[in-house]
Amino acid sequence: MNHQIAIAGSDVAFACHGGESVLDAALRSGIELPYSCRKGVCGNCAGRVEQGEVAGIGNAAIRNETCAPDQVLFCLCAPQGDLTIAPSSWHRIDPGARKRFTAKVFRNQLAAPDVSVLQLRLPAGQRAKFQAGQYLQLAVGDGSTRSYSMANPPHESDGLTLHIRHVPGGAFSARVPSLQPGETIELELPFGAVALDPDSTRPIVFVAGGTGFAPVKSILDDMAKKKVQRPITLIWGARKAEGIYLRAAVAKWQKQWPDFRFIAALSEETEAAPEAGAFAGRVDEALVEHCPRLEDAELYGCGSPGMVSAVRNVAEKRCGLDPKRFHADVFVDGPASGPPPSGTA
C-alpha cells in the first residue's frame, strides 16, 4: 500500500511504497534529505514526524543517541499511513543524476601498510558528476555492493580516486592489493548528502580517522580550487605515524592557506614521544586539546562509528559546538544498504 508523505511548510509531497523507508521514498522522488550511512548510525537523516505514525523497518530502532527526543531516523522507518515530516533540510534533485559506469584500474598504490590508493579511469568521454564529500557504490561480484568516498575533487571528473583500508576477509578490500591496471570495476554514484555550506565563513574543523581522510581530501581540494578563505583545522587520526599516508596533500594546503592547522593524532604513540607537531592520543582528545572553543565553528567528522560518536560527544558537551553544525560521515563495514532505483541501465 502506498502512503503520501508531505514536507511541513511546503507544497511538496511524494509517495512511499509499502515497506519503503521515508528516506528512500524521498530520494526516489527527487527530494534529497540529509543522509550518509543509510544504516541508522550517523544520524544525519534525523527529523521530526509532524503528523502520522512510523515504524522501524524489520523492527529496527528508529532512534539513536544522535536524535533529539522528537526525532526519528528517516533511513530506518516506514510510514504506517500518510505522514507530514519536518526534515532538518531538503532540496530537489534530479533522480536520474545517479549514473553507473564501468571503470578501469589506472593505478594501484600501497600508501600505508593497510591502505591502498586506487585510481580509476572512466570510459573516454564520460564524466562523473558529484559533490565533494559524496561516495560511490561498487559491485563486489556476489550481488552486494560496498561504499567508498571519492578522494578526488569534483573538477577531476574523468576518474575517481578511492582510499581503501584492507579489511581481513573483506569481500572487496581483500582483493584490492592484487588489482592490476586495466581490470574493470562496476560502480554507481553519487550517494550521500554531507555537503558543506558554500557561503559559510565560519571556522571549520575536519576530524578524520584513517581512510576517513578520503572525503576530507575531496572537500579541501575543492575548497582550494574555489579559493575559499576561512579558518581551517584538520585533525587526522591513525594508530602510528605511518598511517598518515598523504603528507604531500597536507603540505599543499599549508602552502595555500598559511594559517591552516594540521594535527596528526597518533593513538598508539602515548608512551613514546610522537613526531614533531603530532598529538599522542585519540582524535577526540586532540580536539579538546587544540579546539576547546567551537561555539562559532562547524565540524566535519569522518571515520568509524565509534570515532565519530566520540568526536560528536566532546565537540558538543565540552567544546560548545552547536549540534546543527556537526556534519557526520560514518564509515560502516559490510554491504551497503540497497539504494533507491536510479533509473540507469
pLDDT surpassing 70 at residue 31: yes
pLDDT tens by residue, 231-277:
999 999 999 999 999 999 999 999 999 999 999 999 997 665 566 67
pLDDT of residue 195: 65
Q: Where in the chain is the domain with CATH 2.40.30.10?
A: 96-191
How far is the CA of 342 from the CAs of 43, 111, 237, 297, 345, in angstroms? 23, 33, 35, 36, 9
According to DSSP, residue 96 is labeled: G
Q: Which CATH architecture has domain 96-191?
A: Beta Barrel (2.40)
Question: Does residue 128 or residue 91 have the better pLDDT?
Answer: 128
pLDDT surpassing 50 at residue 278: yes
Do 102 and 128 contact (CB within 8 A), yes or no? Answer: no
Question: Does residue 94 or residue 133 have the better pLDDT?
Answer: 133
**Is 184 strand, coil or helix?**
strand
CA angle 344, 21, 32 (to 5 degrees): 60
- Distance CA(278)–CA(264), nearest Å, equals 5
Q: Say how many residues make up the chain.
A: 345
pLDDT tens by residue, 287-316:
999 999 999 999 999 999 999 999 999 999
- Distance CA(140)–CA(185), nearest Å, equals 9
pLDDT of residue 342: 37
Q: What is the DSSP string of 112-176?
A: ETTEEEEEEEPPTT------TT-EEEEE-SSS-EEEEE--S-TT-TTEEEEEEE--TT-TTTTTG
Do 39 and 337 contact (CB within 8 A), yes or no? Answer: yes
CATH of domain 3-92: 3.10.20.30
For the chain, the average pLDDT equals: 91
- Distance CA(128)–CA(44), nearest Å, equals 24
pLDDT tier, 336 (very low <50, low <70, confident <90, very high otherwise): low
pLDDT surpassing 90 at residue 286: yes
Fold of 204-330: Rossmann fold (3.40.50)
pLDDT tens by residue, 65-81:
889 899 999 999 999 99
Do 339 and 311 contact (CB within 8 A), yes or no? Answer: no
pLDDT surpassing 60 at residue 338: no
pLDDT tier, 39 (very low <50, low <70, confident <90, very high otherwise): confident
Q: Where in the chain is the domain with CATH 3.10.20.30?
A: 3-92
Predicted TM-score of the model (pTM):
0.86
pLDDT surpassing 70 at residue 335: no
pLDDT tier, 169 (very low <50, low <70, confident <90, very high otherwise): confident
pLDDT tier, 6 (very low <50, low <70, confident <90, very high otherwise): very high
- Distance CA(205)–CA(203), nearest Å, equals 7
Least confident interval from 13-22, 34-43, 75-84, 153-162:
34-43
pLDDT of residue 318: 97
Q: Which amino acid is residue 122, in one-letter code? A: L
Mean pLDDT of 153-159: 96
